[in-house]
Amino acid sequence: AQTVTQSQPEMSVQEAETVTLSCTYDTSESDYYLFWYKQPPSRQMILVIRQEAYKQQNATENRFSVNFQKAAKSFSLKISDSQLGDAAMYFCALFNFGNEKLTFGTGTRLTIIP
Protein backbone atom coordinates (compact mmCIF):
# COMPACT_ATOMS: atom_id res chain seq x y z
CA ALA A 1 0.00 0.00 0.00
CA GLN A 2 1.12 3.55 -0.61
CA THR A 3 0.17 6.63 1.39
CA VAL A 4 0.59 10.37 1.03
CA THR A 5 0.33 12.66 4.04
CA GLN A 6 -0.10 16.41 4.06
CA SER A 7 -0.04 17.64 7.64
CA GLN A 8 -0.95 21.26 6.94
CA PRO A 9 -4.69 21.61 6.21
CA GLU A 10 -4.32 25.37 5.72
CA MET A 11 -1.50 27.79 5.08
CA SER A 12 -1.40 31.50 4.41
CA VAL A 13 1.28 33.77 3.05
CA GLN A 14 1.69 37.43 2.34
CA GLU A 15 1.71 38.35 -1.33
CA ALA A 16 5.27 38.35 -2.74
CA GLU A 17 6.56 36.22 0.13
CA THR A 18 7.70 32.59 0.06
CA VAL A 19 5.75 29.64 1.44
CA THR A 20 6.58 25.94 1.78
CA LEU A 21 3.97 23.18 1.74
CA SER A 22 4.90 19.86 3.29
CA CYS A 23 4.28 16.33 2.08
CA THR A 24 5.48 12.93 3.22
CA TYR A 25 4.80 9.64 1.53
CA ASP A 26 5.31 5.94 1.91
CA THR A 27 5.81 3.33 -0.75
CA SER A 28 7.68 0.07 -1.05
CA GLU A 29 8.44 0.70 -4.72
CA SER A 30 11.72 2.15 -5.92
CA ASP A 31 10.38 3.57 -9.17
CA TYR A 32 7.81 6.30 -8.80
CA TYR A 33 6.96 9.89 -9.56
CA LEU A 34 5.81 12.62 -7.22
CA PHE A 35 3.55 15.49 -8.18
CA TRP A 36 2.09 18.67 -6.83
CA TYR A 37 -1.33 19.52 -8.23
CA LYS A 38 -3.21 22.78 -7.80
CA GLN A 39 -7.00 22.93 -7.59
CA PRO A 40 -8.39 26.49 -7.69
CA PRO A 41 -11.92 26.99 -6.34
CA SER A 42 -14.49 25.43 -8.68
CA ARG A 43 -11.86 24.78 -11.31
CA GLN A 44 -10.07 21.72 -12.53
CA MET A 45 -6.92 20.30 -11.09
CA ILE A 46 -3.73 21.20 -12.90
CA LEU A 47 -0.18 19.95 -12.58
CA VAL A 48 2.26 22.32 -10.88
CA ILE A 49 5.47 20.29 -10.81
CA ARG A 50 6.74 16.74 -11.16
CA GLN A 51 9.72 14.90 -9.66
CA GLU A 52 11.08 11.56 -10.85
CA ALA A 53 12.30 9.48 -7.91
CA TYR A 54 15.47 8.41 -9.73
CA LYS A 55 16.58 12.02 -10.17
CA GLN A 56 18.59 13.56 -7.37
CA GLN A 57 18.20 17.10 -8.66
CA ASN A 58 15.16 18.93 -7.32
CA ALA A 59 12.63 19.98 -9.94
CA THR A 60 11.89 23.65 -10.54
CA GLU A 61 9.22 25.39 -12.61
CA ASN A 62 9.54 29.16 -12.55
CA ARG A 63 8.44 30.25 -9.04
CA PHE A 64 7.77 26.66 -7.94
CA SER A 65 10.43 24.31 -6.66
CA VAL A 66 10.54 21.15 -4.63
CA ASN A 67 12.77 19.77 -1.91
CA PHE A 68 12.86 16.03 -2.54
CA GLN A 69 14.40 13.97 0.26
CA LYS A 70 14.14 10.37 -0.92
CA ALA A 71 15.54 8.70 2.17
CA ALA A 72 13.20 10.65 4.41
CA LYS A 73 10.30 10.22 1.92
CA SER A 74 9.64 13.91 2.01
CA PHE A 75 8.52 16.09 -0.88
CA SER A 76 7.85 19.74 -0.07
CA LEU A 77 6.75 22.49 -2.45
CA LYS A 78 8.20 25.99 -2.24
CA ILE A 79 6.34 28.86 -3.86
CA SER A 80 8.41 32.02 -4.24
CA ASP A 81 7.05 35.51 -4.84
CA SER A 82 3.51 34.36 -4.03
CA GLN A 83 0.77 35.82 -6.19
CA LEU A 84 -2.95 36.15 -5.64
CA GLY A 85 -3.53 33.59 -8.38
CA ASP A 86 -1.66 31.00 -6.34
CA ALA A 87 -4.58 30.73 -3.93
CA ALA A 88 -5.92 27.18 -4.23
CA MET A 89 -5.93 23.70 -2.75
CA TYR A 90 -2.61 22.00 -3.31
CA PHE A 91 -2.40 18.23 -3.45
CA CYS A 92 0.69 16.11 -3.24
CA ALA A 93 0.41 12.89 -5.24
CA LEU A 94 2.43 9.73 -5.76
CA PHE A 95 2.43 7.72 -8.99
CA ASN A 96 3.68 4.21 -8.42
CA PHE A 97 4.80 2.18 -11.43
CA GLY A 98 3.83 -0.97 -9.59
CA ASN A 99 0.11 -0.23 -9.51
CA GLU A 100 0.08 2.68 -11.96
CA LYS A 101 -2.35 4.98 -10.21
CA LEU A 102 -2.09 8.34 -8.50
CA THR A 103 -2.50 8.42 -4.73
CA PHE A 104 -3.31 11.85 -3.31
CA GLY A 105 -2.85 13.51 0.04
CA THR A 106 -5.68 15.34 1.76
CA GLY A 107 -4.54 18.71 0.49
CA THR A 108 -3.41 22.07 1.83
CA ARG A 109 -5.54 25.14 1.32
CA LEU A 110 -3.28 28.09 0.51
CA THR A 111 -4.49 31.62 1.10
CA ILE A 112 -2.63 34.63 -0.26
CA ILE A 113 -2.89 37.78 1.83
CA PRO A 114 -2.78 40.97 -0.26
Partner 1 sequence: DTGVSQDPRHKITKRGQNVTFRCDPISEHNRLYWYRQTLGQGPEFLTYFQNEAQLEKSRLLSDRFSAERPKGSFSTLEIQRTEQGDSAMYLCASSPGQGGGNTEAFFGQGTRLTVV
Q: Which residues bind partner 1 (CB under 8 A)?
A: 4, 6, 33, 35, 37, 43-47, 50, 91, 93, 95, 97, 99-107
Quote the least distance from Cβ 30 to partner 1, whole Å: 15
Backbone angles phi, psi at 84, to 5 degrees: -55, -35
Return all residues near 32 (Cβ < 8 A) that are at least 6 apart: 53, 94, 95, 96, 97
- Name the helix (H) or strand (E) containing 52: strand 46-52
CB of 64 vs partner 1, minimal distance in Å: 15
Residue 11 or 45 with smaller CB distance to partner 1: 45
Select 28 or 100, whichever has its Cβ closest to partner 1.
100
